[in-house]
Amino acid sequence: MLVLIVLLAAWLVFRAIGAAGVHILASWQHSALYALAAIFVFTATAHFNKMKHDLAQMIPSSFPRPLLIVYITGVLELLGSAGLVLPQFRRLAGICLMALLVGMFVANVNAAKRGVTLRGKLPTPLWLRTPMRFCLLRYSGGQLASKRHYAS
């Protein structure tokens, strides 16, 4: 739920900056694009702080070296975020982030089944996480994969 709050807050802040005269944030779409990039930076930080061990617990036991997977997915989120704000990489970043979100959903389902906690608390329930994930998927892959929406 925190991710959704941060996403919406970032979107509104970026849009306000756009309304104040920053051209690149002058539309709701561009503001949302930068908010999405910010949210991937926000979520990636968990892959490198104390939460990394909780995230490693989410990964199914059939995958070797879960902590390495956590680091790799964190780096991929950071690279995807950078790609979103660079017009020449935006399409590729959107497609790659979409694939990453689908792949990481396996860990979310596993965590829900096993009752894995994050910082000692249960994460956002899967019934709420799933639609949030699909919204991010739609935005990351669907609109960003289309060059016509975000030409700079």
Kindly report which listed range (8-17, 54-63, 134-143) carries the lowest average pLDDT score: 134-143
Query: In this predicted structure, what is the pLDDT of residue 139?
Result: 64
Question: What percent of the chain clears pLDDT 90, i.e. is strictly above it?
Answer: 51
CA distance 63 to 69: 9
Q: What's at 133, amino acid-wise?
A: R
pLDDT of residue 61: 92
Does the structure show a pLDDT above 70 at 140?
no
pLDDT for the residue numbered 146: 52
* Number of Cα atoms under 13 Å in the Cβ half of residue 129: 16
pLDDT for 40-88, tens place per residue?
A: 999 999 999 999 999 999 999 999 999 999 999 999 999 999 999 999 9
More confident position, 124 or 102: 102
Most confidently modeled range among 33-37, 68-72, 124-128, 135-139:
68-72
How confident is the model at residue 115, as a pLDDT? 85
> What does pLDDT average to over the chain?
86
For residues 49 and 10, give the distance between their C-alpha atoms in angstroms, rounded to a whole number: 22
pLDDT at 112: 84
Please write the tens of the pLDDT for every residue from 16-41. 999 999 999 999 888 989 999 999 99
CA 116/CA 40 separation, integer angstroms? 22
Alpha-carbon dihedral of residues 54, 64, 83, 4, nearest 10 degrees?
Answer: -30
